[in-house]
């Protein structure tokens, strides 16, 4: 399962990572977000150990999307 990034762990897991990182900003009510979720999970599996693939739930973690100018979801 893709890593769950939060406002609390974003710096440690994303900004301080020594590997490339893909962040999916999403929400449970977002149809397009749900549509791409299987692809995100597949990338996580395929790139395990080579890259960090994770998700930020924008409803539960509002500071990070605001900090990085996320205005629409899904945003990768």
Q: Which residues are catalytic?
A: 30, 33
Q: d(Cα 49, Cα 19) in Å, to the nearest integer? A: 8
Per-residue tokens: 73: 């979801």
**What is the DSSP annotation of 22-62?**
EEEEE-TT-HHHHHHHHHHHHHHHHTTTT-EEEEEETTT--
């Amino acid at each position: 399962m893709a890593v769950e990034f939060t406002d609390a762990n974003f710096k440690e897991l994303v900004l301080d990572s020594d590997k490339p990182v893909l962040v999916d900003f999403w929400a449970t009510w977002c149809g397009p977000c749900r549509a791409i979720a299987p692809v995100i999970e597949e990338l996580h599996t395929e790139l395990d150990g080579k890259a960090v693939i994770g998700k930020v739930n924008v409803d539960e973690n509002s500071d990070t999307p605001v900090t990085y100018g996320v205005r629409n979801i899904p945003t990768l």
